[in-house]
Chain A
Amino acid sequence: MGDDVIVCRCEEVTAGEVRAAIRAGARTIAAIKKRTRAGMGLCGGRTCARLLARLLAEETGLPVAEIAPPPSRPPVRPVPVAALAEEE
């Protein structure tokens, strides 16, 4: 995968930016997320998490099996703040 290929479509993060984050020390998907915003868009990383895991495996030699999925926390679907404020 070339450096200019976008891996996170929601936040338009390229493979090159993710590789740079890994070379700067990111060793988990969560760490990549914090450095690049990959996985922080509307889909919540549902699309790119596998691509991030693959890049992490390629760059570090970690087996894919040992790369944990990104941490999950509410809301897992886009919800307007107004709806939360009105909760019954």
Chain B
Amino acid sequence: MTNTDVIVIGGGPAGLSAAAVAAAHGARVTLVDEQAAPGGQLSKQIHKFFGSREHLAGTRGFAIGRRLLEDALAAGVDVRLGRAAYAVYPDAGDGFEVAIYGGDDPAAGSEVAAGHGRSTTLRGHRLIVATGASENPLAFPGWTLPGVMGAGAVQTMVNVHRVRPGRRALMVGSGNVGLIVTYQLLQAGVEVAALVEAMPRVGGYLVHAGKFRRAGVPILLGHTVLEASGDGRVERAVVAALDERGRAVPGSERSLDVDTVCLAVGLSPLVELLLILGVRTTYVPALGGHVPLHDLDQQTSVPGLYVAGDAAGVEEASVAMEEGRLAGLAAAESLGRGDPGALARTKREVVARLDGLRGGPFGAVRREAKARQVGELAPAPRVVPPHPTSAPEPGPATGVPGRPRPLAVIECRQEIPCNPCETACPRGAITIGSPITNPPRLDPAACTGCGLCLTACPGQAIFLVDRSREMARVTFPYEYLPRPEVGQTVTTVDADGRPVCEATITAARLTGKADKTWAVTVAVPDEYAGVVRGMLRPRVVT
């Protein structure tokens, strides 16, 4: 039996942030997570994240996970990886008992599955549940065949174990997970036949979709997968168009030769441990289904029990970090730890950032849903000022003919919570300001064409256009193997992956700061300066 002030279950962005903040304000904190790697889902994420500096925006997911772990350890958190919390009970006093099972050292995560390890009990005065979410299923004939898998499994195989799940895949679902994993499959050398989305629009950020649209992967809106079939494993899948009532349109069926069907059809908050303790829940489809009620401090209907991150309603890693910080602050404060002034100041900063993250049209749905969720428990929810909605950027900017330097062209037109371009620019030429969902504005006079914003942009939505010579130069971000070489002749593509023209690579830069994102420059006829946004990946022989 270990006694502590605060127990945190879950070592993802919410749990690690909660633990670090509570410990920094003087609480004794123990954190458990069933995985051996820190960061929860972050440990599988190889793309650069959105958000602001406080969310380590522009950093690749797994590196964010490591940083959050370092911060928690530095704050004095007792981190126990490779241990699953399998039961929770109220203890005799004001606290909780958590039964955990797993290995004896942080590297022993696999022992949980192998049936070794032992069961121990933690006792704490406060409990923060940050267990994340589980993937939603989609049942169709053949969905139990080997080759049909969730996006999380694909990420584990491709990004953690470096194993390709197949040679040609069908992606189902266009939320950010489906979009990101499609791009990652391409990076791993898996062909993606198509992405189907039942809704008439792309669910996630268009900049994420843009990354694989440039590779020519078609997005079939208003389509779904009807069945998968094959001899002992997936050999083909049938997709079809849906009518307004969600039924397959007869005659629209198409068979695709694929060996992998990847399901990315949403997430559900993982609330089992909270249900055991009897928390009140409500049903909010925009947050993933049955979600626990919680107040503005992330405290549930059970005193001393907090929830943060996707377990509190499915949102994003940056939101999870801020919710975790709120829970950690509140838990420390309720135990009389920390300096009241410092606690209040930190909380104000966190609340302001959280409001910013829930701004814009994407955030508005979650902001309203969250207000309802909180409102059911606490009758006086925080009044969130409506964010001004800025007009989208006017039509494509195509650089300036005769300008002696390259000019950044920012093709980021949705209001998403992200600002690494603003912080990357040494000249202050890019303005986002507050709220963080404002689209970036470029001051062409201040832009030197240095390209720091191009590789900093997690959405790969910034390009450089140089029209000072007869042949224009277009620079774009690139994250595929083989490495691009100067002098190589390549086929350039537009934003939808349509071939534009043959071109020669005149520069290929990779700086340490760019963290594996190349800035590739090609020479193209001037009339294509506003069109070329990437290149076809040279065939890889495997």
Residues of A within 8 A of B (CB): 1-2, 4-7, 9, 15, 44, 46-48, 50-51, 64-66, 68-69, 71-77, 79-80, 83-84, 86-88
Which 7 pairs, one residue from A and one from B, show the smallest C-beta to C-beta distance?
A74-B87, A72-B275, A75-B86, A65-B283, A77-B86, A72-B272, A77-B84
**Which residue of A has the minimal Cβ distance to B34?**
A77
19 CB contacts below 8 A, A to B, read A1-B140, A5-B139, A5-B143, A9-B144, A47-B134, A50-B136, A50-B137, A51-B137, A69-B290, A72-B272, A72-B275, A74-B87, A74-B276, A77-B85, A77-B86, A77-B112, A79-B101, A86-B119, A88-B121
**Which residue of A has the minimal Cβ distance to B87?**
A74
Assess whether B512 is interfacial by the CB under 8 Å rule: no
Chain A residue numbers with a CB within 8 Å of B283 are 64-66
Chain A residue numbers with a CB within 8 Å of B121 are 87-88
| Interface size band for B | 35 or more
Neighbour of A83 across the interface among B1, B85, B119, B273, CB < 8 A: B119
CA distance A72 to B131 in the complex (A): 15
**Which residue of B has the minimal Cβ distance to A63?**
B283
CA distance A80 to B134 in the complex (A): 23
Contact A50 B268 (CB under 8 A): yes
Chain B residue numbers with a CB within 8 Å of A71 are 275
Secondary structure of the A side of the interface? loop
Known contacts A48-B137, A86-B118; can you find 14 more A-B pairs with CB under 8 A? Answer: A1-B139, A4-B141, A5-B139, A5-B141, A7-B139, A50-B289, A69-B275, A69-B281, A72-B275, A76-B273, A77-B84, A79-B119, A80-B115, A88-B1
Chain A residue numbers with a CB within 8 Å of B115 are 80
CA distance A79 to B136 in the complex (A): 24
Chain B residue numbers with a CB within 8 Å of A4 are 141
CA distance A84 to B64 in the complex (A): 35
Assess whether B120 is interfacial by the CB under 8 Å rule: yes
| Nearest CB of chain B from residue A46's CB, rounded to whole Å | 5
Interface string of B84-96 (1 = CB under 8 A from A): 1111100000000
**Which residue of B has the minimal Cβ distance to A50?**
B136
Chain A residue numbers with a CB within 8 Å of B136 are 50
| Nearest CB of chain B from residue A8's CB, rounded to whole Å | 10
Chain B residue numbers with a CB within 8 Å of A74 are 86-88, 99, 276
Neighbour of A6 across the interface among B86, B134, B139, B275, CB < 8 A: B139
Chain A residue numbers with a CB within 8 Å of B85 are 76-77
| Nearest CB of chain A from residue B151's CB, rounded to whole Å | 14
CA distance A74 to B244 in the complex (A): 43
Chain B residue numbers with a CB within 8 Å of A73 are 276
CA distance A83 to B83 in the complex (A): 13
Chain A residue numbers with a CB within 8 Å of B134 are 46-47
**Which residue of A has the minimal Cβ distance to B138?**
A51
Chain B residue numbers with a CB within 8 Å of A88 are 1, 118-121
CA distance A5 to B467 in the complex (A): 59
Chain A residue numbers with a CB within 8 Å of B530 are none
CA distance A65 to B281 in the complex (A): 11
Which of A51, A66, A74, A88 counts the most chain B CB atoms within 10 A?
A: A74
Assess whether B117 is interfacial by the CB under 8 Å rule: yes
| Nearest CB of chain A from residue B271's CB, rounded to whole Å | 7
Which of B134, B139, B273 counts the most chain A CB atoms within 10 A?
A: B139
Contact B118 A83 (CB under 8 A): yes
| Nearest CB of chain A from residue B455's CB, rounded to whole Å | 39
CA distance A3 to B119 in the complex (A): 41
CA distance A59 to B238 in the complex (A): 26
CA distance A50 to B265 in the complex (A): 12
Assess whether B270 is interfacial by the CB under 8 Å rule: yes
| Nearest CB of chain A from residue B52's CB, rounded to whole Å | 33
**Which residue of B has the minimal Cβ distance to A85?**
B119
Which of A44, A84, A86 counts the most chain B CB atoms within 10 A?
A: A84
Chain A residue numbers with a CB within 8 Å of B268 are 50
| Nearest CB of chain A from residue B254's CB, rounded to whole Å | 20
Contact B120 A79 (CB under 8 A): no
Q: Known: A5-B139, A9-B144, A48-B137. Contact between A76 and B87, CB under 8 A?
A: yes
**Which residue of B has the minimal Cβ distance to A47?**
B137
